[in-house]
């Protein structure tokens, strides 16, 4: 497709003239797949839970991602031998990415806390790593070793005992050697050639070939997201993730060619990707769009980028930088790029963002591959309540409480009064039995 003479038809929204309802609607979206996909994925999950490997094999054959030899688990020899099919340059790139991701996540490991709210009462808060985690890595016709790294490294830093990876096979029934090499560099030997909703079900419920996990993490398409929602409660999941998205805020202070490249970067993920350009003037916006149209013909995925921008993109015009930042915060993007004169300070006014990229020398692609920041992020506005995948996601907290006899005497009135008020007299009894009513009438 030749785009040199094609003018992009991207929706525009002027905050100065739009009514409040229109503005609010424009920031509202969801990471959830549509109801039809959720219902069908739920049926797949139930079937795999009931019939195990037989159902897993049927759906893998029907939807793609099935292993060529019929064995879901990838042989250790294939994992260890994959590196010979990968160039030294790519192996070095994987090692560099792993090193930086590990460095960024190492400080995230939580520390225990101890609180003494009053004399004789001690409350400890202790974090422990999960035992077994499943990392889902999208695959099939695409290859995402970076997603494997982003899911596995924080689990390793957390101290997870068992980590397995699920990824769909390519059309020829094999796993891409780049993905296997990334796994091998991280010491991962349990890899399953399976994808989609059926893979999520196998991880959550277990089959004859797959041991169930305590939590599932990793990005995926709508069927994977729907399946995660269906198994939530049976095991933990990281978050429901919709199509990739980005917001780019510009005041015109950065070269529009750079800003344009950032707009297109996230749009190339897929036709459903949502990207908005929030500019403080029509002039700044027009300069960026002109650069997009100039650069598009040079890119391999120009068709995908064009459809994403025309179907799900928007140019938002704000009167001031604070207005632009406020809109971006309301939109709550997965990725946020700030191209303003005071970019670092401006970033503090947008707490609702998964990952933020500051200034002209910080492309979003750096975060995807090299800086070490995690690129498994909340989408669909969920940046209001979720953050990037982190070490904390691979463990759980527990409380350990100790009370002395003297302290229990002091707490008795509070405990028994509230317990009796709620009609839970056995709760109150557990205190009076300990203290003995002849020595203390704990209800007084």
Mean pLDDT by 10 residues, the chain (444 residues): 61 96 94 94 98 96 89 94 96 98 97 97 98 94 92 98 96 94 97 97 97 97 96 94 94 97 95 96 97 96 96 97 98 98 97 97 97 96 96 97 96 97 97 75 45
Per-residue confidence (pLDDT) for residue 443, from 0 to 100: 45
Distances (CA, A) of 126 to 310, 396, 399: 49, 8, 6
Helices and strands (DSSP H and E) totals, the chain: 17, 14
Q: Where are the beta strands (DSSP E) in 190-233?
A: 191-193, 215-217
Q: Are 132 and 181 in contact (CB under 8 A)?
A: no
* Strand-pair partners of 276: 247, 314
The arrangement of strands across the sheet holding 132-136 comes to: 191-193, 162-167, 132-136, 215-217, 236-237
Which of these, 241, 383, 364, 243, lies nearest to 311 by C-alpha position?
243
pTM of the shown model: 0.93
Instruction: Check for a shared fold between 11-30+242-384 and 35-239+392-396.
Output: yes
For the chain, which residues make up each domain, given as ranges?
11-30+242-384, 35-239+392-396, 404-444
Per-residue confidence (pLDDT) for residue 6, from 0 to 100: 60
The pair of structure tokens assigned to 336 is: 């946020």
Sequence-ordered list of residues with C-beta below 8 angstroms from that of 10, at least 6 positions apart, any chain: 289, 309, 310, 313, 314, 315
Burial 193-221 (b: 16+ CB within 10 A, else e): bbbbbbbbbbbbbbbeebebbbbbbbbbb
The pair of structure tokens assigned to 352 is: 């609702």
Sequence-ordered list of residues with C-beta below 8 angstroms from that of 206, at least 6 positions apart, any chain: 52, 212
Instruction: Give the active site residue among 190, 271, 291, 334.
Output: 334
- Active site (annotated) includes residue 335: yes
Per-residue confidence (pLDDT) for residue 268, from 0 to 100: 95
* CATH topology assigned to domain 35-239+392-396: Rossmann fold (3.40.50)
- Active site (annotated) includes residue 375: no
* CATH topology assigned to domain 11-30+242-384: Rossmann fold (3.40.50)
Q: Which helix (H) or strand (E) holds 153?
A: helix 145-158
Q: Are 399 and 125 in contact (CB under 8 A)?
A: yes
Burial 12-47 (b: 16+ CB within 10 A, else e): ebebeebeeeeeeebbebebbbeeebbeebbebbeb
Place of tokens 């797959």: 210
Place of tokens 């409480």: 401
Instruction: Give the active site residue among 105, 269, 312, 335.
Output: 335
Rg of the chain (C-alpha set): 26
């Amino acid at each position: 497709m030749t785009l040199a003479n094609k003018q992009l038809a991207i929706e525009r929204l002027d905050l100065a003239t739009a009514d409040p309802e229109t503005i609010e609607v424009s920031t509202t979206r969801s990471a959830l797949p549509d109801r039809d996909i959720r219902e069908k994925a739920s049926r797949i999950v139930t079937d795999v839970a009931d019939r195990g490997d037989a159902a897993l094999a049927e759906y893998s054959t029907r939807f793609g991602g099935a292993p060529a030899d019929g064995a879901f688990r990838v042989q250790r020899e294939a994992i260890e031998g994959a590196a010979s099919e990968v160039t030294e340059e790519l192996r070095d790139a994987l090692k560099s990415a792993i090193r930086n991701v590990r460095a960024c996540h190492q400080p995230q490991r939580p520390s225990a806390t101890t609180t003494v709210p009053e004399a004789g009462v001690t409350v400890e808060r202790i974090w422990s790593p999960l035992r077994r985690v499943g990392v889902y890595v999208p695959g099939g016709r695409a290859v995402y070793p970076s997603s494997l790294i982003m899911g596995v490294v924080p689990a390793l830093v957390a101290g997870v005992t068992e980590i397995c990876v699920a990824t769909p096979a390519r059309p020829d029934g094999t796993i891409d050697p780049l993905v296997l090499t990334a796994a091998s560099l991280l010491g991962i030997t349990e890899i399953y050639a399976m994808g989609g909703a059926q893979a999520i079900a196998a991880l959550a419920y277990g089959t004859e070939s797959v041991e169930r996990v305590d939590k599932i993490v990793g990005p995926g398409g709508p069927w994977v997201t729907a399946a995660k929602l269906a198994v939530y409660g049976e095991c933990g999941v990281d978050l429901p993730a919709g199509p990739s998205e980005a917001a780019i805020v510009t005041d015109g202070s950065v070269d529009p060619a750079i800003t344009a490249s950032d707009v297109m970067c996230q749009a190339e993920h897929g036709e459903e990707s949502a990207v908005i350009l929030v500019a403080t003037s029509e002039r700044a916006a027009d300069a960026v769009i002109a650069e997009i149209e100039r650069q598009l013909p040079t890119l391999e995925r120009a068709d995908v980028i064009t459809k994403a921008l025309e179907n799900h993109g928007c140019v938002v015009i704000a009167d001031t930088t604070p207005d632009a930042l406020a809109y971006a915060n309301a939109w709550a993007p997965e990725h946020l790029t700030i191209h303003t004169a005071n970019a670092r300070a401006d970033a503090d006014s947008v707490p609702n963002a998964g990952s933020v990229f500051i200034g002209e020398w910080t492309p979003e692609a750096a975060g995807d591959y090299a800086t070490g920041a995690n690129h498994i992020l909340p989408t669909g506005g969920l940046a209001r309540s979720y953050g990037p995948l982190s070490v904390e996601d691979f463990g759980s907290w527990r409380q350990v409480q100790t009370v002395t006899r003297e302290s229990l005497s002091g707490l008795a009135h509070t405990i028994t009064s509230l317990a009796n008020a709620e009609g839970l007299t056995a709760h109150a009894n557990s205190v009076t039995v300990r203290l003995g009513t002849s020595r203390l009438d704990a209800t007084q």
